[in-house]
Amino acid sequence: MTTPFGQYHPLKCELSLYLYKIILSFTSEEVLTQENIFLLFTAPPKSEMGDFAFPCFQLSKTLKKSPAQIAQELRPLVEENPITSSPL
């Protein structure tokens, strides 16, 4: 599978691990693997929306909540736990 960022983009790898940990703390069980999250990352529809986007549709099926509701519930966890690392 080819992505706009390349299969082994280092920032995308770091972000997928970060989001994996956030989702795991949110659900208390592994609903997506880090690899699944890596593959789901995409470019947002508009560049002013950021560099990466994560669709919550896959979580929606498992958690039986709307993607919008999941995004609203995940947002505070992401804001409370900002990603910190040295520049690449």
* Cβ contacts of 68 within 8 Å, gap of 6 or more: 56
Q: Evaluate whether 88 touches 11 at the Cβ level (below 8 Å).
A: yes
In angstroms, rounded to a whole number, what is the distance separating the alpha carbons of residues 72 and 9? 27
Q: What residues does each domain of the chain span? A: 10-44+53-80
pLDDT digit string (tens) for 32-81? Answer: 999 999 999 888 899 898 888 999 998 998 889 999 999 999 999 888 88
Q: Is the dihedral of CA 83, 60, 4, 51 positive or negative?
A: negative
Place of tokens 């039986």: 64
pTM of the entire structure? 0.75
* Cβ contacts of 33 within 8 Å, gap of 6 or more: 20
